[in-house]
Amino acid sequence: MAIPVVAIVGRPNVGKSTIFNRIARQRISIIEDTPGVTRDRIYTHSTWLNHDFSLIDTGGIDFTDQPFIDQIRNQAEIAIDEANVIIFMVSAREGITDTDERIAQILYRAKKDVILAVNKADNPEQRQDIYDFYTLGLGDPIPVSGSQGTGLGDLLDAVVAKFPVTTEDEVDDTIKFSLIGRPNVGKSSLVNSILGEQRVIVSTIEGTTRDAIDTQFTDETGQKFTMIDTAGIRKRGKVYESTEKYAVMRAQSAIDRSDVVLFVIDGESGLREQDKKVAGYAHEAGRAIVIVVNKWDLVKKDTSTMQKFTEKLRGELQYLDYAPIVFVSAITKQRLNQLPELIKTVSVNQQRRIQSSVLNDVLLRAVAITPTPTVKGKRLRVYYLTQVAVKPPTFVAFVNDPEIFHFSYQRFLINQLRASFDFSGTPIHLIARQRK
């Protein structure tokens, strides 16, 4: 089941990114400090009352070389194309402006659910004073305040009420994967070559509300795969497709729908900033990851080329130290036959469960090798480890004081887990809980 997509639209300065950030903040961010990863984020995964959804701040996709009204129109179009539910945001301070009316015009024509949010309703009088907004013809205005944080519950209630009713999860024996990477790294070529190697292409299935098309196939062992349609593969000829932010957002949305991400890099030109952003998102979202270095046929090689490339890559993507790297060519098909096997392996690892008794043996040994640190006179104690989830494997550590359970010791414990069990290709999440 694809998760619903919610987009916020509205003219500049009504408070879209303020509200976006308030909703996004509930999420744990593991690599918040990695430069370029979470800064100016316009896409996030969120949850309200057991409803998972993705949220897009269309205001963050700028078209600086275009006239103002075209920018607004493009943003509204993205919302209409991508989202199941649109939050149209206006401001109680300024009232209805011409631009608000233009946006409303565009939204009428779309057959999409629109929720009208009136931001900057900071006090009770302003919250009472929102009736003017009925004239926009988009239903009940919901007063919110990004600066006070009020009204968000009512807003999200109205949003999730519009989500399609989900039936219980279908039993899922297919591994969903996507190919993510910059334009021109060779994603489409890889898709074609991978599908060319497989005997049966079962079907193409409808993705989400968008015109994404996913492809299913089965390998010779009978394992089913679903290849998620990715940005850059099927182009729809829209103006906004060429903007980098849009490409990143589409990639993030494909990552959200995948179990496994093939992170494709051009072997000739190497890693770029945009690559890191997208890889960071996949890591944070807990997806299993295989790094695919494509166009290896174009690289002049001697005996140490592969090793040198690997070392450089590991240095640039330190948090992805668990992801296997494979050097391929979509053109010569070198090593492409390894991909299905690798996808299966990392998918199994991503769903691996370890019994508590075994985990605690590992913990005892770990603490014996490297005793817990003493921070400001207080000794950290890690009493117990237990696995609470898979996809990705998620462990809770019961400690005497989460404040002194620093990143370095967490990282040490995660490395001990990796040394004891096969978690290659999957991130591991570790959560600290206080035990009194």
Q: Is the peptide bond before 392 cis (omega within 30 degrees of 0)?
A: yes
Q: What does the DSSP 8-state code read for residue 171? A: P
50 is in an annotated binding site: no
Helix (H, G, I), strand (E, B) or coil at 403: helix
Q: Which residues contact 132 (CB under 8 A, 6 or more apart)?
A: 95, 96
Q: Which is nearer to ligand GDP, 46 or 329 (CB)?
A: 329
Find, among 405, 386, 394, 390, the residue nearest to 428 by Cα: 394
103 is in an annotated binding site: no
Q: How far is it, in rounded angstroms, from Cα 47 to Cα 115?
A: 18
Residue given tokens 């009713």 in the structure block:
165
182 is in an annotated binding site: yes
230 is in an annotated binding site: yes
User: Does the footprint of ligand GDP cover residue 71 (CB under 6 A)?
Assistant: no
Are 328 and 297 spatial neighbours (Cβ–Cβ below 8 Å)?
no
CB atoms within 10 A of CB 85: 21
User: Does the footprint of ligand GDP cover residue 299 (CB under 6 A)?
Assistant: no
Q: Which is nearer to ligand GDP, 2 or 152 (CB)?
A: 152
User: Does the footprint of ligand GDP cover residue 232 (CB under 6 A)?
Assistant: yes
Helix (H, G, I), strand (E, B) or coil at 263: strand
User: Does the footprint of ligand GDP cover residue 186 (CB under 6 A)?
Assistant: yes
Q: Which stretch binds ligand GDP (CB under 6 A): 23-31, 65-73, 159-167, 182-190?
A: 182-190
**Across the strands, what pairs with 384?**
398
As measured in angstroms, the least distance from the Cβ of 169 to ligand GDP is 32
Q: Which is nearer to ligand GDP, 13 or 400 (CB)?
A: 13
What is the signed CA dihedral for 375, 376, 381, 385, rounded to 10 degrees?
-50
User: Does the footprint of ligand GDP cover residue 187 (CB under 6 A)?
Assistant: yes
- Site mask, ligand GDP, residues 246-285, x = CB under 6 A? ----------------------------------------
User: Does the footprint of ligand GDP cover residue 189 (CB under 6 A)?
Assistant: yes
Bind-site residues for GTP: 10-17, 57-61, 119-122, 181-188, 229-233, 294-297
Which residues of this protein are in contact with ligand GDP, per CB under 6 A?
Answer: 10, 12-18, 59, 119-120, 122, 145-147, 181, 183-189, 232, 294-295, 297-298, 329-331
